[in-house]
């Protein structure tokens, strides 16, 4: 099918916090690369996004901060929008779902489905706060976790032990609004019978979209195989799009009903021709999302669009997997993240480095890991040493050996190496096109860098600087011709590199066209592959460095910052007072202690610790906790149960018989329902691997360590 126009959407970020690198890598960078590529091909394309501003977490945050939900979304909408602009994410519109246009669009959409009789009304019992006279979403109910004893577990999940819960399971449940004990009360909601759309979805996805990425297709198939259920499309809340029905006081649309409609609203805001993009079959609609949104974009929203009628369906939904950070899941609540607004301040003018690293390491087919070391390595050994180095050498040599002008190409002495290099332009262009059409952004970027690598090799073999110093009589003229050819080829290659890198690193492409004194139009995709982009005799500007080296201190500082904010040991000078609090915040207290700056303590502080030698008698994995091992430790006069966060480092059977050092007077603590009595000391090496701290020779259990 030949599409006349493209509508590209990126998942609406949730406006209750800033965006981090996981968001960028997940959908904003890939969509931006794709759109920049389409624009450079002069395709008709609209790129829409906006803040998702409804839903329970926003009302909770507002309550905690003592402000209105509108104030929360105003604050984060501004931060998010600014971060995207600064990173060069080139939306045609960045809207927001608290806009009037959106409220009207979502409300009309609901009304149409309602009038067509497509909802099922159901009365159910839900928790209600009698003091505040309001129904309570699960998140509004807190109580004691039946699994780990956390007194502040939410009605849907315990954030300490990770168990998913329902409000009925909480011990001593209470409303977060008033502390009142919630009671059950009847409430009516409108359900969308997803099961009625199974035949349509099966035909459309399973039969007609085998081209979707494996992770997306597989998830859809498993949802459909398991059978779909009716889903409530309304909620009891005062924050959101009001349900447009007479008997729906105090009810709003479910946030996942209204959010995807936000794509339509944003397009409406952007252009009067919005219905060309949403209603004509020759539109290619592509949703870029993260893997956690697959069901909403591939099952629920398409079923809604289909039920409504008149709308196109997405042609593709390229979802990425997750990006981890330094080996751990990104966690906004633990501040284990690299925030884009902070990166922009701490690495000014370095947007393309982050764009590069996140694309080169994109979680396209599996979860990937971002590390600051890799960030530094890729910058220094790929951007600086390959791409930047090639462009810089070419410009410096051209100024030195060709008077700052594009030299002539002497066809009579062209050799195989020259022809091969010139032929690579078109070959690389074609490879990149094929990869981008398949949403393989990493591989496409790799091809650009590989072309620069070939340029370096070519220049190295041609050695124009040596020819310039040749003093053989009569050779000068011939040598100058060889110099001309080598630099002519390298300059045309530079122009090609600018076009090919432009969708990925737009800031760099801009610097390059400035150096080449050409207009933006040269970056049009149709120019890629051409070998006569820069005219002979045209004088070019002096080179400026495209990339700078990233120093060890810069990345070390970032790692320190990360570990300092996340891990609970930061204030460990008062170890005795703080230890139980530290354990409350994290189960894996044995990991990553090494990089924390600890302040000086007095001997008395140290003397409070009762450190003793013990021998591990038995070890087993703790169910549903990847990191935890339950250990039986012989302490001489007694045997202790200790839960330790070392399961990723040791097999239970390998550590039985080990002698270890135990903090014996640590207050007991329940983890995953198991009482842990003490803590095992571990040393962490440079690679993050843990090692036991043991006495040099086997000694009596219970010996004290002083």
Q: Return residues touching Zn ion (CB under 5 A).
A: 145, 147-148, 150, 158, 160-161
Distance CA 570, CA 593 (A): 9
Closest to Zn ion by CB, 27 vs 161, is 161
At its nearest, how many Å lie between Zn ion and the CB of residue 658? 30
Closest to Zn ion by CB, 161 vs 660, is 161
CA dist 225 → 192, 198, 208, 218, 306 (Å): 19, 10, 16, 10, 20
Burial tier of 706 (Cβ tally within 10 Å: 0-12, 13-18, 19+): exposed
Closest to Zn ion by CB, 164 vs 599, is 164
> Residue 3, SS3?
coil
Distance CA 625, CA 490 (A): 56
| Tokens standing for residue 434 | 């094929």
At its nearest, how many Å lie between Zn ion and the CB of residue 673? 9
At its nearest, how many Å lie between Zn ion and the CB of residue 157? 9
At its nearest, how many Å lie between Zn ion and the CB of residue 160? 5
CA neighbours closer than 13 Å in the CB half-sphere of residue 304: 27
> Residue 10, SS3?
strand
Closest to Zn ion by CB, 97 vs 163, is 163
| Tokens standing for residue 384 | 């600086």
At its nearest, how many Å lie between Zn ion and the CB of residue 329? 18
Cβ contacts of 239 within 8 Å, gap of 6 or more = 54, 55, 58, 59, 69, 252
Closest to Zn ion by CB, 161 vs 338, is 161
The secondary structure of residue 6, as a DSSP letter, is: E
Closest to Zn ion by CB, 18 vs 173, is 173
CA dihedral 389, 392, 393, 397 (to 10 degrees): 180
At its nearest, how many Å lie between Zn ion and the CB of residue 156? 12
CA dist 448 → 115, 426, 427 (Å): 53, 12, 11
For residue 393, which of 321, 288, 465 has the smallest C-alpha distance? 465
Closest to Zn ion by CB, 113 vs 158, is 158
At its nearest, how many Å lie between Zn ion and the CB of residue 149? 7
At its nearest, how many Å lie between Zn ion and the CB of residue 175? 19
Distance CA 646, CA 621 (A): 10
> Residue 246, SS3?
coil
Beta partners for 80? none
Distance CA 512, CA 395 (A): 11
Contact 630, 643 (CB under 8 A): yes
Give the DSSP H or E segment for 186: strand 183-193
Distance CA 683, CA 591 (A): 9
At its nearest, how many Å lie between Zn ion and the CB of residue 65? 25
At its nearest, how many Å lie between Zn ion and the CB of residue 138? 15
Distance CA 444, CA 450 (A): 10
Closest to Zn ion by CB, 73 vs 158, is 158
At its nearest, how many Å lie between Zn ion and the CB of residue 651? 27
At its nearest, how many Å lie between Zn ion and the CB of residue 331? 16
Closest to Zn ion by CB, 298 vs 643, is 643
Closest to Zn ion by CB, 145 vs 253, is 145
For residue 538, which of 492, 483, 477, 479 has the smallest C-alpha distance? 492
Contact 43, 83 (CB under 8 A): no
Cβ contacts of 676 within 8 Å, gap of 6 or more = 641, 642, 643, 644, 668, 669, 670
Closest to Zn ion by CB, 145 vs 523, is 145
- State the DSSP string of 340-389: HHHHHHHSTT-HHHHHHHHHHT--SSS-EEE-HHHHHHHIIIIIIIIIIH
Closest to Zn ion by CB, 147 vs 266, is 147
Closest to Zn ion by CB, 147 vs 622, is 147
At its nearest, how many Å lie between Zn ion and the CB of residue 162? 7
Instruction: Count CB atoms within 10 A of the CB of residue 225.
Output: 9
């Amino acid at each position: 099918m030949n599409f006349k126009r493209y509508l590209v959407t990126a998942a609406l970020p949730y406006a209750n916090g800033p965006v981090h690198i996981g968001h960028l890598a997940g959908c904003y960078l890939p969509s931006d690369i794709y759109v920049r590529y389409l624009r450079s091909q002069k395709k008709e394309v609209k790129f829409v996004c906006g803040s998702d501003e409804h839903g329970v977490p926003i009302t909770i945050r507002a309550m905690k901060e003592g402000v209105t939900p509108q104030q929360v979304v105003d604050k984060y909408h501004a931060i998010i929008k600014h971060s995207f602009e600064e990173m060069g994410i080139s939306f045609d519109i960045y809207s927001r779902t608290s806009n009037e246009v959106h409220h009207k669009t979502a409300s009309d959409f609901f009304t149409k489905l309602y009038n067509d009789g497509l909802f099922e009304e159901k009365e159910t019992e839900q928790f209600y706060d009698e003091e505040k006279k309001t129904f309570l979403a699960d998140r509004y109910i807190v109580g004691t976790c039946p699994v780990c004893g956390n007194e502040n577990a939410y009605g849907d999940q315990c954030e300490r032990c990770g168990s998913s819960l329902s409000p009925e399971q909480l011990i001593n449940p209470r409303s977060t609004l008033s502390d009142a004990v919630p009671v059950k009360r009847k409430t009516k909601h409108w359900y969308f019978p997803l099961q009625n759309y199974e035949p349509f979805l099966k035909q459309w996805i399973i039969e007609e979209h085998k081209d979707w990425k494996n992770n997306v297709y597989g998830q859809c198939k498993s949802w459909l195989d398991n059978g779909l259920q009716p889903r409530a499309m309304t909620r009891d809340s005062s924050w959101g799009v009001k349900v447009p029905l007479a008997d729906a006081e105090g009810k709003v649309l479910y946030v996942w009903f209204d959010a995807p409609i936000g794509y339509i609203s944003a397009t409406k805001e952007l252009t009067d021709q919005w219905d060309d993009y949403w209603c004509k079959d020759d539109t290619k609609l592509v949703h870029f999302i993260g893997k956690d949104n697959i069901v909403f974009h591939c099952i629920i929203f398409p079923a809604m669009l289909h039920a409504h009628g008149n709308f196109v369906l997405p042609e593709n939904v390229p979802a990425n997997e997750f990006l981890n950070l330094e080996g751990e899941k990104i966690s906004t609540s633990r501040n284990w993240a690299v925030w884009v607004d902070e990166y922009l301040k701490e690495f000014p003018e370095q947007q393309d480095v982050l764009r590069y690293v996140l694309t080169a390491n994109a979680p396209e087919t599996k979860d990937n890991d971002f590390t600051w070391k890799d960030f530094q390595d890729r910058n220094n050994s790929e951007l600086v040493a390959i791409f930047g180095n090639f462009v810089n050498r070419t410009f410096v040599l051209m100024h030195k050996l060709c008077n700052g002008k594009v030299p002539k190409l002497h066809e009579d002495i062209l050799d195989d190496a020259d022809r091969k290099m010139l032929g690579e332009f078109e070959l690389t262009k074609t490879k990149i096109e094929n990869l981008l059409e398949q949403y393989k952004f990493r591989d496409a970027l790799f091809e650009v860098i590989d072309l620069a690598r070939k340029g370096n090799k070519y220049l190295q073999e041609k050695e124009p600087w040596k020819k310039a110093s040749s003093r053989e009589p009569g050779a000068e003229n011939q040598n100058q011709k060889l110099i001309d050819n080598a630099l002519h080829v390298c300059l045309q290659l530079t122009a090609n590199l600018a076009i090919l890198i432009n969708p990925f690193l737009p800031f760099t492409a801009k610097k390059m066209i400035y150096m080449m004194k050409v207009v933006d139009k040269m970056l049009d995709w149709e120019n890629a592959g051409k070998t006569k982009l820069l005219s002979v005799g045209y004088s070019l500007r002096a080179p400026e460095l495209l990339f700078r080296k990233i120093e060890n201190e810069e990345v070390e500082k970032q790692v320190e910052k990360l570990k300092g904010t996340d891990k609970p040991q930061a204030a460990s000078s008062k170890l005795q007072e703080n230890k139980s609090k530290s354990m409350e915040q994290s189960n894996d207290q044995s990991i990553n202690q090494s990089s924390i700056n600890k302040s000086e303590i007095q001997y008395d502080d140290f003397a409070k610790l009762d450190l003793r030698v013990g021998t591990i008698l038995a070890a087993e994995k703790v169910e549903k906790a990847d990191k935890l091992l339950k250990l039986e430790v012989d302490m001489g006069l007694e045997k202790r149960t200790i839960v330790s966060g070392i399961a990723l480092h040791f097999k239970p059977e390998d550590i039985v018989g080990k002698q270890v050092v135990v903090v014996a007077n640590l207050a007991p603590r329940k983890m995953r329902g198991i009482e842990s009595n003490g803590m095992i000391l571990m040393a962490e090496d440079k690679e993050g691997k843990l090692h036991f701290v043991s006495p040099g020779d086997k000694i009596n259990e219970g010996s004290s360590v002083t």
